Copies of this chain bind each other. A is one copy, B any other.
Amino acid sequence: MELDVRKFKILEAVIRNYLQTGEPVGSRTISKDSDLSLSSATIRNEMADLEDMGYIIQPHTSAGRIPTDKGYRLYVESILAHKEKALSTREENIKKREKELDAMEKEYSSKMDQMKDIMEAVARSLADDTNYATMISSCMGKCNRIKFVQLSRLEEQKLLVVIVLEGNIIRNKVFNITKNITEDSIARLNMLINTTVTGLSVDELERQLGVLEAQSGSQPMLREVLEIIFETIRNADDVQIVTGGTTNIFKYPELCAGEIARDLITTLEDKQGLTSLISPGVPEEGAIRFYIGEETPVKAMKDCSVVTATYELSDGMRGTIGIIGPKRMDYEMVVETLNNIRMRLDDLFRKT
A147: chain B residues within 8 A (beta carbon): 154
Please tell me if A296 contacts chain B, counting CB pairs below 8 Å: no
0 or 1 for each of A244-288: is its CB under 8 Å from B? (1 = yes): 001100100000000000100110010000000000000000000
Please tell me if A235 contacts chain B, counting CB pairs below 8 Å: yes
Grouping DSSP codes into helix (H, G, I), strand (E, B) and loop, the A interface class, with mixed when no group exceeds half, is: mixed
0 or 1 for each of A214-258: is its CB under 8 Å from B? (1 = yes): 000000000000000001000100000000001100100000000
A148: chain B residues within 8 A (beta carbon): 152, 154, 160
B247 and A110 contacting across the interface, CB-CB below 8 Å? no
Name which of A9-17, A164-172, A301-309 contacts chain B.
A164-172
Copies in the complex: 2
0 or 1 for each of A140-167: is its CB under 8 Å from B? (1 = yes): 0000000110101010000010101000
Using CB atoms and an 8 Å cutoff, list the residues of chain A in contact with chain B. 109-114, 116-117, 147-148, 150, 152, 154, 160, 162, 164, 168, 170-174, 231, 235, 246-247, 250, 262, 265-266, 269, 352
30 A-B pairs in the complex with CB atoms less than 8 angstroms apart: A109-B174, A110-B231, A110-B235, A111-B171, A111-B173, A112-B172, A113-B171, A113-B173, A114-B114, A114-B116, A116-B116, A116-B117, A147-B154, A148-B154, A150-B150, A150-B152, A150-B160, A150-B162, A154-B168, A160-B170, A168-B174, A170-B174, A174-B352, A246-B269, A247-B262, A247-B265, A247-B266, A247-B269, A250-B262, A250-B266
